[in-house]
Chain A
Amino acid sequence: MQVQRAFLCGNRLHLQHGPIDLIIGVDGARAVAFEAAEQRLSSVLSELMSEIALLRQWDGPSPKGPIARKMWTAAQAHEGFVTPMAGVAGAVAETVLDAICTAGDQRRAYVNNGGDIALHLSGDATFDIAMAGLGGAALGKITLSAKSNVRGIATSGQAGRSLSFGIAQSVTVLAKTASMADVAATLIAGAVDLPEHPLIHRAPAKDIRDDTDLGDQLVVRNVGALTATEVGLALDAGARRAVNMQNQRLIHAASLHLRGQSRQIELNKEKVLEHA
């Protein structure tokens, strides 16, 4: 099946191919941009599948394909278990955005791959991001300008398709690239956790999804009623991981949410603000 294409209101393009859904917006040479995006996406899955075994290894050598290398590089920057697949959505978004920017001069463009967003900003262009909770409630808003170094935004958590080691409802990360943001959001969401907590049910990843890159490691299936203190502790664990990443300049900012509580690790600030 080839790439499916549909136009959404607000001059946005929706492309779908297999598990990939992209929402694309362009201020600039829109027609050529959309054409280039569709063209680029058409071979993405086959490129990735040609090296899929390597991409599911957490300690494997560098793959060959350009998208696979973005994923691998983003994952390599972090310590511990993380496979290049943690950055696949961001890397695809970046790749399609690159094609859009190569096709023509764009004032502003974005590729949103299921919550993992690659951004292009030039001149005085800005980009407003609103974070929404699972129920649609607004969790906060941030405006990015071309002057900031942020070109990638990723959100990870229970709403997504991926399996998670943690219990975060949602973690949004701003980073230099979409693939970096994607890997970081995955890891921070996984770090929002209460190890050994009896109300958090876990199962081996391979029992839940065939072809997972997480093998027999335990992933969260459902979470019982936690106290407000427990929720705070879980968020703090995630926030610590996020601050470490910020110190290593792997991310610019992060916003963590769980059951009505949140933690913000803000742009250029190395402290955690509490919003209980």
Chain B
Amino acid sequence: MSDAARVKPEKIRCDACPVLCFIAEGKSGACDRYANHSGELVRLDPLTVIESGAPAVAFLDQGENVQNWDGDIVQGKRTFVTAVGAGTTYPDYKPAPFIVSQEVDGADMVTVVTEGIYSYCGVKVKIDTDRFIGLECAVVRVKGEAIGHVMTSEYGSKMLSLGGVEHLTGGSKAEGRVTCDALMNLCNREAVTMQIDEGAEIVVQAGQAPIINDVREKLMRVGCGSAAIGMFAKQWEPHVDEVIVVDDHITGVLTEHEAGKQLDMRPSGIKIQGRRSTPGRYFQVAEPGTGWGGTDVEDPLTILKPADAKKAWAGLRLLMVSTTGEQWAYYELDENLIPQPAEISEELRVSADRIAENCEPSLCTVLFMGGAGGSLRAGVTENPVRLTRSVKDALTYVSCGGAEAYVWPGGGITVMVDVMEMPTNSFGYVPTPALVAPIEFTLRREDYAALGGHIEHIQDVASVLTPEVRKVSRLATQPDPHKAQRRNREGRG
């Protein structure tokens, strides 16, 4: 080692807590938890403190927790600093770690960047599938621990509500830990396997198709059975006498449906199970399941009742198809009016394929939802409630890792953001357990001063852009935080 390399490094300031120890090389701070190792602040073994107690939180940018800037959104010469990897001061006593200013089109803009710690947080998951995954309110489990529940069914999709303070801190320690882990993995776009009570096992990964009972979902339905009839009636009419679109929600029967009547199609006399809603539209033709169109149907003939002998005829051409076009079967009635499998005509097969072509790919969408609490707001301003008001007045633009955040009306700053719009690995956790997520507040400098902001802590954007900072491109879907803020500002009149 050269002499130059032996020069004793300077003392470093530890900012893990308000004691702000000044630590010399080879020494530890007052807490014995953090030390100066060759000029770098390092965590000492966290498990030696009290094993079953609260483990200390690692510095976000140290050792295995290296999280260099991950979310700097570069657009031309203008930079937007995200909070990913910004660290947090738990700002009940200190301003947020980065309060950055830059001039944008003559207006001096300030962005307050911090990582929030969210005990009140969770994810809303939308799973594009018609397959049965579980009843509404059914408990969703990971490793046997309850992490959330099945919400309402939405259009062509099932919704899950996962996490939330009741699971994070309101249940057992294991429940909190597993929930926190699952939320973080989901938010960081990793796959999480879940079991739904009395339902399916599903693998959810943001931006990917769900895997339901080991089967990867491909397509989202084109519409309900009735809608499919409406969309394709004209294409079917020249090639077939009856079409039944099997759907757990509404199964459609072409000749009985208004669309078939408009085309003067002859009533086929084919009768199906279930409860008729309106002509040609049937509820509950089978049980919910993972078969055709979200029913438990594997053989479509099981939903048929004997055909009406007065109306049906031998040789009648019958197409049965699911709402995604992935399953179909073609039959012709024999002289006893019993459907028999038959060779489908090319034209009709093309029409079945067209359903599939018109389906969108099935995806899992993960929205992070969390509330910015008192202490986080205090890191932004000395008058926390003014920040809330300023957000509601749209003077302040809120983003998470540069992604546009939907701010819920009402009290507090409760935001919702699509994790796919955020930089990768934006999320971390603390042992509370709670998630750590980036949040940025962008506003005009004078507005920031007016709401009691930490003006004296503002740094120029150039000063925070060090070579270690990782730069990522702005996603096309991410709005310019400065622009969005200016527009709102102008709109305010």
The answer for the CA separation of A15 and B55 in the assembled complex, in Å, is: 10
* Pairwise interchain contact B90-A18, C-beta atoms closer than 8 A: no
The stretch that binds A, out of B19-27, B147-155, B460-468, is B19-27
> A240 contacts the other chain (Cβ, under 8 Å)?
no
Nearest B residue to A52, CB-CB: B19
Cross-chain contact of B92 among A2, A16, A18, A23 (Cβ < 8 A): A2
B52 pairs with A211, CB closer than 8 A = no
Is A30 among interface residues, defined by CB-CB distance under 8 A?
no
Judging by beta carbons under 8 Å apart, are B56 and A4 in contact?
Answer: yes
Least CB distance, B266 to chain A, in whole angstroms: 72
For A42, the chain B residues whose CB sits under 8 A away are 92
A6, A17, A49, A161: the one contacting B32 at CB < 8 Å is A161
Which residues of A sit under 8 angstroms from B17, Cβ to Cβ? 1, 17-19, 45
Residue among A1, A21, A209, A210 with most chain B CB within 10 A: A1
Whole-angstrom CA separation of A1 from B11 in the bound complex: 21
Instruction: Identify the closest chain A residue to B22 (Cβ).
Output: A210
Q: What is the CB-to-nearest-CB distance from B86 to chain A, in angstroms, rounded to a whole number?
A: 14
Q: How far is the CA of A8 from the CA of B30 in the complex (A)?
A: 24
Known contacts A1-B17, A5-B432, A19-B29, A14 near B22 by CB under 8 Å: no
Chain B residue with the shortest CB-CB distance to A18:
B17
Partner of A46 from B52, B88, B93 at Cβ < 8 Å: B93
* Cross-chain contact B53 with A6 (CB below 8 angstroms): yes
A210 close to B21 (CB less than 8 A) = yes
CA of A14 to CA of B173, assembled, Å: 14
The smallest C-beta distance from A82 to any residue of chain B, in angstroms, reads 19
Contact between B19 and A49, CB atoms less than 8 A apart: yes
Is residue A81 contacting chain B, with contact meaning CB distance below 8 A? Answer: no
A227 CA / B110 CA spacing, docked (Å): 69
Q: Is the CB of B11 within 8 A of A210?
A: yes
B431 near A209: Cβ-Cβ < 8 Å: no
Q: Is B375 an interface residue (CB 8 A)?
A: yes
Q: A16-B54, A21-B49, A210-B23 are in contact. Are A2 and B90 (CB under 8 A)?
A: yes
Is A138 part of the binding interface, using a Cβ–Cβ cutoff of 8 Å?
no
A211, B22: Cβ atoms under 8 Å?
A: yes
Provide the residues of chain B in CB contact with A18, threshold 8 Å. 16-19, 30-31
Nearest A residue (CB) for B15: A1
**A209 to B35 Cα, complex, angstroms:** 12
CB closest residue in chain B, given A45: B18
Q: Which residue of B lies closest to A50 (CB)?
A: B18
Per the bound structure, the CA–CA distance linking A4 and B169 in Å amounts to 13
Q: Which residues of A contact B375 (CB under 8 A)?
A: 2
B117 at the interface (CB under 8 A from A): yes
Q: Does B57 contact A (CB under 8 A)?
A: yes
> Which chain A residues numbered 124 to 170 have a C-beta less than 8 Å away from chain B?
161
Contact of B22 with A15 in the complex, beta carbons under 8 Å: no
Does chain A have a CB within 8 A of B476?
no
A43 to B374, CA, bound (A): 14
Q: Which of A14, A46, A49 contacts B54 (CB 8 A)?
A: A14
Q: What number of A-B contacts does a CB cutoff of 8 Å give? A: 80
Q: Measured between alpha carbons, how far is A137 from B299 in the docked complex, in Å? A: 74
Q: B399 to nearest A CB, angstroms?
A: 23
Report how far A43 CA is from B29 CA in the complex, Å.
19
* Residues of A close to B23: CB separation below 8 A: 210
Report chain B residues within 8 Å CB of A7.
173
Most chain B beta-carbon contacts within 10 A, residue among A4, A14, A18, A210: A18
In the complex, are the beta carbons of A43 and B93 less than 8 A apart? Answer: yes
Can you list, as one digit per residue, whether each of B81-98 has a CB less than 8 Å from chain A (1) or not (0)? 000000011101100000
- Which residue of B21, B54, B90 is within 8 Å of A15 (Cβ)? B54
Of the candidates A8, A45, A161, A209, which one forms a contact with B53 in the assembled complex, judged by CB atoms under 8 Å apart? A8
B50 at the interface (CB under 8 A from A): yes
Report if A276 contacts B (CB, 8 A).
no
Please give the distance in Å from A184's CB to the nearest CB on chain B: 22
Chain B residue, CB-CB nearest to A44: B18
What's the Cα separation between A211 and B21 when bound, in Å?
A: 8
What residue of chain A has the Cβ atom nearest to residue B30's Cβ? A19
Is A225 in the interface zone, CB < 8 Å from B? no
Chain B residues with CB below 8 A from A6, complex form: 52-55, 431
Proximity bits, A173-211, B CB within 8 Å = 1, else 0: 000000000000000000000000000000000000111
A210–B49 touching, CB < 8 Å? no
CB proximity of B23 to chain A, nearest CB, Å = 7
Tell me if A19 and B32 are in contact (CB < 8 A): yes
Please report the C-alpha to C-alpha distance between residue A164 and residue B32 in the assembled complex, in whole angstroms: 17
Residues of A contacting B56 in the complex (Cβ-Cβ under 8 angstroms) = 4, 16
Name the CB-closest residue of A to B59. A1
Give the CA-CA distance A18 to B27 in the complex, in Å. 16
- Residues of the A chain whose Cβ atoms lie less than 8 Å from the Cβ of B52: 6, 8-9, 14
B369-411 near A? 1/0 per residue, CB < 8 Å: 0000001000000000000000000000000000000000000
Chain A residues closer than 8 Å to B21, beta-carbon distance: 210-211
Whether B18 contacts A5 by the Cβ 8 Å rule is no
- Complex contacts, B89 vs chain A, CB 8 Å: 1
Report the minimum CB–CB distance from A24 to chain B (whole Å): 11
Contact call B431/A4, Cβ cutoff below 8 A: yes
A42–B32 Cα distance when bound, in Å, is: 19
Q: Which residues of B contact A210 (CB under 8 A)?
A: 11, 21-24, 27
**Which B residues from 47 to 75 make CB contacts under 8 A with A?**
49-50, 52-57
Residues of B within 8 A of A209 (CB): 27
Please pick, from B50, B55, B117, the residue contacting A2 in the complex, using a CB distance under 8 A.
B117
Chain B residue nearest to A208 in the complex (CB): B27
Of B30, B57, B117, B432, most A-chain CB atoms within 10 Å? B30
Q: How far is the CA of A209 from the CA of B33 in the complex (A)?
A: 14
How far is it, in angstroms, between the C-alpha of A52 and the C-alpha of B459 when the chains are bound?
Answer: 28
Q: Are B57 and A1 in contact (CB under 8 A)?
A: yes
- Contact across chains for A49 and B432 when beta carbons are under 8 A apart: no
Alpha-carbon distance between A110 and B28 when the two chains are bound, in angstroms:
29
A195 to B354, CA, bound (A): 96
Q: Report the bound CA distance from A105 to B30 in whole Å.
A: 35
CB distance from B33 to the nearest CB of A (A): 8
Residues 402-438 (chain B) with a chain A CB within 8 angstroms: 430-432
**12 further interface pairs, Cβ-Cβ under 8 Å (given A17-B17, A21-B49, A46-B93):** A2-B92, A2-B117, A4-B54, A6-B431, A14-B52, A19-B30, A19-B31, A20-B31, A21-B53, A42-B92, A43-B93, A211-B22
- Listed A/B pairs (21) with beta-carbon separation below 8 Å: A1-B88, A1-B90, A2-B375, A4-B431, A9-B52, A16-B56, A18-B17, A18-B30, A19-B17, A19-B29, A19-B30, A19-B33, A21-B53, A45-B18, A45-B19, A46-B93, A49-B20, A161-B30, A210-B23, A211-B21, A211-B22
Of all A-B residue pairs in the complex, the 3 with the closest CB atoms, nearest first, are A18-B17, A2-B90, A19-B31
Give the interface of A toward B (CB within 8 A). 1-2, 4-9, 14-21, 23, 42-43, 45-46, 49, 161, 209-211
